[in-house]
Structure 1
Amino acid sequence: VAEQGRLAAEQERLLVEQERLTTERDRLAFEQAGAASERDKLESERDSAIARQDGAAAERDELAAKCEGLASDIARVSAEREQLAERSERLSREQGDLVAARDGLVAEQGLLVAEQERLTRERARLESERDS
Structure 2
Amino acid sequence: MDTISILTLRLAEAMGLYMILIGIGGLANPARWRAVMDDLNRSPALVVTLGFAVFIVGVTLVMIHSLWTDPLAVAVSLISYIALIEGALLLAVPGPLISIGHWSTGFIRGWAIFALVLGILLFLAGLTGRATISV
- Please say which structure displays the higher CA radius of gyration: 1
Above 0.5 in TM-score?
no
State TM-score, norm by structure 1.
0.20
Q: Which has the higher helix share?
A: 1
TM-score between the two structures when normalised by the length of structure 2: 0.20
